[in-house]
Amino acid sequence: MISCEVSGTSSPGRLGSPARWRAEVLLVAGVSLGQSAVYAVVRLADMLTRAPLKDSTAGLNHSQSTREVFDLVYQLLGIGFTLVPVALALYLMWLDGQGSVLERLGLGRGVGRGGAGPDAGCGVDPDAGRSAGPDAGCNARGGGTASDGVLRDGARRAAWGDAWRAVGLFVLIGAGTLVVYAAGRALGVTAQISTNNLNAAWWTVPVLLLQAVKNGVLEEVLLLGFFWDRLEKLRWSPWAIIVGLAVFRGSYHLYQGFGPFIGNVLMGLIFGWLYMRRRRVMPFVGAHFLLDAVGFLVPGILRG
């Protein structure tokens, strides 16, 4: 007789131990943002030993080939492979056997951790729905007619709420970013940032938008979703998590100078505090996308 459970919780000594959670944090960080942080520190040291930061340039979104078709292929491959650690993190969270990972992160139809997910209102007893009629309990679509309507309304409200919060965060953080960048340039502690170094092509704008999506998903799902969850399981206090992840967020921006480091730490503190209140990742993914999309596209529009 097979005793393993599908949820993956049959071996708590291995699957639910602090040693496992610490290893997951280190491994996922090592193939994603942690690796970027190490390179950022080395690049900062390289820039500081060459010239003052005010005379240095930090570039993003570089062309990978002089041939247009292959440059596009390289760009798409880079975006896809960069998101693999996100898939790994979601898979590791799925192994916890604690329900829908998307609902736990506030990425699905529900209202975030502790709220009503897409299966709310469904009876546990499979016979309950049959005995009470075709519209009671759980039907073949996962819920009764009335329940489906409530879930759809709840999903729409959650989506609109996420969208408005994303726009609000974009305005707040975007204004702060401009102030911090200008101050950093004036003080000589921030490199000049060039956000679009792609060759002009028909796919340049779509690729820049995909890069913005990639950055939002990678950073916010890993930082506010996966790493937060694991540090919480390791019994870190909420503010220790917020401060630790904020400093981590700033560290992989050090290649741009000390100004962006400080700006991203402040951004991380704001994001962390707000995430602690509602436990929905989606508004932060949206805000990050808007910040990067504007940052990637507007300089070229102003120049052109």
Radius of gyration of the chain (CA): 22
Rounded Cα–Cα distance for residues 210 and 78 (Å): 11
* Statement: residue 114 has pLDDT above 90: no
* Residue 301 binned pLDDT confidence (cut-offs 50, 70, 90): confident
DSSP per-residue string spanning 35-97: HHHHHHHHHHHHHHTTS-GGG-EEE-SB---SSHHHHHHHHHHHHHHHTHHHHHHHHHHHTT-
Spell out the domain ranges in the chain: 16-113+142-303
pLDDT per position as a tens digit, 224-264: 999 999 999 999 999 999 999 999 999 999 999 999 999 99
- pLDDT > 70: percent of the chain: 81
8 A C-beta contact, residue 47 and residue 56: yes
Angle of the 258-278 helix axis to the 238-251 helix axis, nearest 10? 150
Identify which of 130, 151, 132 has the alpha carbon closest to the alpha carbon of residue 140: 130
- pLDDT > 90: percent of the chain: 72
* Statement: residue 216 has pLDDT above 70: yes
pLDDT recorded at residue 156: 83
pLDDT per position as a tens digit, 122-159: 433 434 444 444 444 444 444 456 667 766 777 788 88
pLDDT per position as a tens digit, 81-103: 999 999 999 999 999 988 889 88
Task: Specify the higher pLDDT residue, 153 or 48.
Answer: 48
| pTM, rounded to two decimals | 0.83
Residue type, 216: G
Give the mean model confidence (pLDDT) for residues 47-60: 95
Question: CA angle, corner 52, sides to 49 and 265, nearest 5?
Answer: 95
* Statement: residue 75 has pLDDT above 80: yes
